Amino acid sequence: MEQMTYSVRVFKTEVRRNKAGEATSYRVLWKTANKAPWKRSFKREAQADAYRSALVTAARNGEAFSLTTGEPVSWSRAASSEMSWYDFACTYVDMKWKGAAAKYRQDIARALTAATPAMFASERGKPTDRELRSAMHRWGFNSKDRDNAPEHVACALRWLAQNTKPVSALAEPANVRALVDSGTSLLNGKRAAASTVRKHRMLLSNAMDYAVEMNLLAENPIRTLKWPKILSTAEVDRRSVVNHAQARALLAAIAEQEPSGRRLVAFFGLMYYAALRPEEANNIRANNVTLPDLDWNQEDEESEEPAEEWGELHLGKAAPYAGRAWTDDGSLYEERALKHRANGHTRTVPCPPALVSILRVHLTEFTEGLDGRLFYGVRGGELPSITYRRAWRAARKRALTASELASPLAARPYDLRHACVSTWLNAGVPAPQVAEWAGHSVEVLLRVYAKCIVGQDEAARRRISDALRLD
């Protein structure tokens, strides 16, 4: 918030003279609170008198003066209120850029791109909607690449700068409602998913807070906007959770694919057997894996690996996919702290025997990739997210029945993590331990996986029956 004061004293105008005694400038002095006097010089006496009179009038009218500029707060708001929405949005992006994660940068760009059409002031000379969306999302709302935009994109961005309404227009309720409505809608006009609505509304509200900080608006208009309550649930859909037989069939279908299948079995295995998030599995290295020592004769074909040999995974960082345009170094992934954990915090997850076997095969067959990571592309570079998503879609088609394929069953690789956590809970592992392994709080764990704990309904019904049974 801007610091203000009502304690103002305006002094007489000083006349600055040269050695010959001729007036060279006229300086207005005034003081706010206990700060040193403010000074402003003018070449002409009439200009100085007009400026001083305005200060005196504002002080007599009881206006607040800024301790940052020394002038009445209303002056700075009036002077800056004509900043266009596009210019303001770029300023907001630049302010957030340095401290924001790459994925968060992209979220901001998406929200502003969706909302900006509500602020168009003219249709004259307007590029196509597709051209404008592409120009905004990829270039205009990207601090790193904005100045390097191709000429046809730069033309679209210049149109936006000249043809969007001033931020001050958002003082009108109808305009702010249109902004939020556009920012939370799909291209076809329908409301976006509940999670997207919440995220975009929050991002737009944060932008309005910054507009207030810049004296472009007197208050955040989104905070006073009446908006329908968003009904959503974070609970896992039980229909998406695979059982062990289905998971093994999916992993087998992954292994059959060329050229990337065999190197991805362990990638998906980490999600199903150890509840790793995709960005955690993608960033795992050999030194994050502790496997039990082999005490059996590997040369003896009849010997078998001892059962119940458990290992451990020691996770320190994750590498979520963001895209080269949004990371500082142009990488596909941005290495960051584990989700919901501060930098330097780690998480240890048990590695069951089935996963031990999968990892042993992977470590034997494949060398370490870029920066020592276990998973990488066929050509040795970073593992593209499209590669494992495409492999997963193909595995579902090969391993699932027609009815299962049409259902939400394992629709996303992330559903393997849900299956693992559900397995732990249904096996009777205490919730605090499961939460620690999965990287959740206990409260979030029980809220998200409440419907995936098998047998609770039946047990509750038995207890009720017992309570109602007549002696």
Q: pLDDT digit string (tens) for 194-212?
A: 889 999 999 999 999 999 9
Predicted local confidence at residue 2, as pLDDT: 57
Residue 191 φ/ψ region, left for φ over 0, alpha for ψ in the -120 to 50 degree band, beta for the rest = beta
What is the pLDDT averaged over residues 397-421? 93
What is the pLDDT averaged over residues 400-409? 93
Residue 380 φ/ψ region, left for φ over 0, alpha for ψ in the -120 to 50 degree band, beta for the rest = left
Look at 2 and 360; give whichever has higher pLDDT.
Answer: 360
Among 71, 18, 23, smallest CA distance to 43 is for 23
pTM (two decimals): 0.71
Q: Give the separation between CA 260 and CA 362, rounded to whole angstroms.
A: 12
Phi, psi of 350 (to 5 degrees): -70, 145
Q: Give the separation between CA 450 and CA 175, rounded to whole angstroms.
A: 41
Predicted local confidence at residue 296, as pLDDT: 46
CATH number corresponding to 243-296+303-401 = 1.10.443.10
Q: How many Å separate Cα 457 from the centre of its chain? A: 37
Predicted local confidence at residue 335, as pLDDT: 85
Q: Is the pLDDT of residue 216 over 90?
A: no
Predicted local confidence at residue 143, as pLDDT: 93
Q: pLDDT digit string (tens) for 222-277?
A: 988 887 776 655 678 888 889 999 999 999 999 999 888 999 999 999 999 999 99
Residue 459 burial (C-beta neighbours within 10 Å; 0-12, 13-18, 19+): exposed
Q: Is the pLDDT of residue 454 over 60?
A: no
Q: How much of the chain, in percent, has pLDDT values that exceed 70?
A: 90
Q: pLDDT digit string (tens) for 346-376?
A: 899 999 999 999 999 999 998 877 678 899 8
Predicted local confidence at residue 384, as pLDDT: 86
Tokens encoding 445: 């764990």
CA distances for 85 relative to 33, 80, 94, 203, angstroms: 34, 12, 14, 15
Q: What residue ranges do the domains of the chain occupy?
A: 4-78, 85-213, 243-296+303-401
- Residues 230, 235, 239, 242, Cα dihedral to 10°: 140
Q: Is the pLDDT of residue 298 over 50?
A: no
pLDDT-based confidence at residue 342 (cuts at 50, 70, 90): confident
Q: pLDDT digit string (tens) for 69-118?
A: 788 887 765 555 578 999 999 999 999 999 899 999 999 999 999 999 99
Overall residue count recorded for the chain in this entry? 471
pLDDT-based confidence at residue 297 (cuts at 50, 70, 90): very low
